[in-house]
Homo-oligomer: A and B are copies of this chain.
Amino acid sequence: MEPIADKKRAIFESMLELVKEKGFHGTPMSMVAKRAGVAAGTIYHYFDSKEKLICELYHYIQQQVIEIVKHEDCTDISFKECFFNLWYALFTYYTEKPSILRFFEQFVNSPYNTNKDEFGKDEFHRLLFRFFERGIKEGHLRPVSPKILGTLAHSNIISTVKIQASGRLTLQDGELEQIPLILWDGMRNR
């Protein structure tokens, strides 16, 4: 990850917050510019178009998530430990940056997401699936496609973040810890 120009980062942050608050529509470039503290024209010095800006932002963020997976997927400790570490690392990341989760969710279901990146071809999914493949190979997890396990696990994390973030429900003592356990108990080989 090479360093990013200050202005570029400011534009990214601005877009991120506005998308969280108002969605893709509802955030005109003029507003992005204003909050970023630059002129409208400046954005077009860095990005070809609104669409490009959004796509680049997506990849920029995804890179951060990839770093987390890489960091937690090590062979020094047992698979089970890795599994729980990864669960909590991603949970914490999304929880601390609610605008990112919201942006993601909007992006993947939007026409900006010209997902020609076949599923499992982008680096995040490749890493995720490789991790679960290891779990299967080592006999910890059910012999189901790692793509299934990976997808289910990730959606489990995201749901948990959403439950908590919405404030709909305050998790009782020890309830949060139950959730990765539920996931593990379901997926583990028996």
Contact = CB atoms under 8 A, between A and B. Distances in A.
A160 B187 CA distance: 14
A175 B159 contact: no
A145 to B, nearest CB: 6
- Chain A: number of interface residues, binned into ranges: 35 or more
Contact of A163 (B22, B102, B147, B169): B147
B163 A23 contact: no
Contacts of A147: 163, 168-169
- Which applies to chain A's interface (DSSP): helix, strand, loop or mixed? helix
Interface string A38-78: 00000000000000000000000000000000000000000
Contacts of A110: 23, 106
A151 B163 CA distance: 8
Contacts of A187: 182, 186
Given A102-B109, A152-B160, A183-B186, 15 more contacts: A22-B111, A23-B110, A25-B25, A105-B105, A106-B109, A109-B109, A142-B182, A144-B179, A145-B171, A147-B163, A148-B169, A155-B155, A182-B186, A185-B190, A186-B187
